[in-house]
Amino acid sequence: MSILAKIAEIENEMARTQKNKATAHHLGLLKARLAKLRRELITPKGGSGGGTGEGFDVAKTGDARIGFVGFPSVGKSTLLSNLAGVYSEVAAYEFTTLTTVPGVIRYKGAKIQLLDLPGIIEGAKDGKGRGRQVIAVARTCNLILIVLDVLKPLLHKKLIEHELEGFGIRLNKQPPNIGFKKKDKGGINFTATCTQSELDAETVKSILSEYKIHNADITLRSDVTADDLIDMVEGNRVYIPCIYVLNKIDQISIEELDVIYKVPHCVPISAHHRWNFDDLLEKMWDYLQLVRIYTKPKGQLPDYTSPVVLPNGRTSVEDFCLKIHKNLIKELKYALVWGSSVKHNPQKVGKDHVMEDEDVIQLVKK
């Protein structure tokens, strides 16, 4: 029996099962089995196998990476060529783009790499089309733009989300707040710091036993679902922010546009007419959460033209030094920082000081 057949069988059983407290335990088990089968699909067993897709992934350049995901012919290539000035072949038939086309834009001093990925078809997570490689590249992005046709958005949105979820990509979510520690003996020690609507000790035990984990400390610090627990045990999930780009707004009325504007994480644009690009770029910048640090040579004015761009969460002085050169941190005596992260300007700080957007730094060597 192939993996796909097994997956279909489990999905059918889940569809047949009623959802209530009595069946929660059984559904949790099925979800865990499903997640294991999915993982086998993504990473086939055995050696190098049939080799990877020919020349699919692109070298990572710039400070951040944004992938365009969508069905064929929703305007991903038009969007890329109008944003970045890169020519990605555009035509009026489906599946024009067959490999990844990279482009780079400079926005607020940061170099951002844009990837035009080939169109996804339904069943991509089960290895149909080039879907597997497309989603594998999407996993490496800092932000995913799901490009949708404004005339049929909801159906496509659900399908693409389903495909990406099946590949362990979680959109616009935070990792679940679960403490998990494996042990050698002592059984499963289960504590919940707040009331759980779905999980109880029995369900947690059955899900963990499916993964052959029989001794562990589990702490649930928020109301989590069975899916969250499985995500945490699998450990290969990536949490990526996502913007839904609704293309082809030149084909709808103003009233419809007002409705679309209220949808969260959504930006309506027209790639062909270049409408509303500034709004899209601004939203991309918000979601990427990049931090710009300006450098100041001693006795000169700060250089505001080319900032050093750091990802959010890794913005200490040490990270800044490592970004420039790995030997710089050894020579660092202290740093002078101007900006919103310090109490007075300039402030003398050590390597652990965390900087904020648009701070100015001057390094003093030993």
277, with CB counted inside 10 A (0-12, 13-18, 19+), is middle
Contact predicate 295/308, CB 8 Å: yes
Confidence band, pLDDT 50/70/90 cuts, at residue 119: low
pLDDT tens string 226-272: 778 887 887 778 888 888 888 887 877 777 777 777 778 888 888 77
Residue 265, C-beta contacts closer than 8 angstroms, at least 6 positions apart:
172, 242, 243, 244
Domains of the chain: 3-42+176-234 (no CATH), 64-172+238-287 (3.40.50.300), 291-365 (3.10.20.30)
Q: What is the chain's mean pLDDT, rounded?
A: 78
Whole-angstrom Cα distance, residue 280 to residue 274? 11
**Residues 343-360: what's their mean pLDDT?**
85
Whole-angstrom Cα distance, residue 324 to residue 242? 29
- pLDDT confidence of residue 50: 45
Residue 112 pLDDT greater than 50, yes or no: yes
Beta sheet of 64-69, edge-to-edge order: 101-107, 110-116, 64-69, 143-149, 242-247, 266-268
- pLDDT confidence of residue 49: 45
**How many other C-beta atoms lie within 10 A of the C-beta of residue 79?**
28
The answer to which of 123-137, 187-201, 222-236, 285-299 has the lowest mean pLDDT is 123-137
- pLDDT confidence of residue 93: 47
Nearest to 232 by CA among 272, 197, 258, 199: 199
**How many other C-beta atoms lie within 10 A of the C-beta of residue 291?**
25
**Residues 93-115: what's their mean pLDDT?**
71
Whole-angstrom Cα distance, residue 21 to residue 50? 45
Residue 138 pLDDT greater than 50, yes or no: yes
Residue 32 pLDDT greater than 80, yes or no: yes
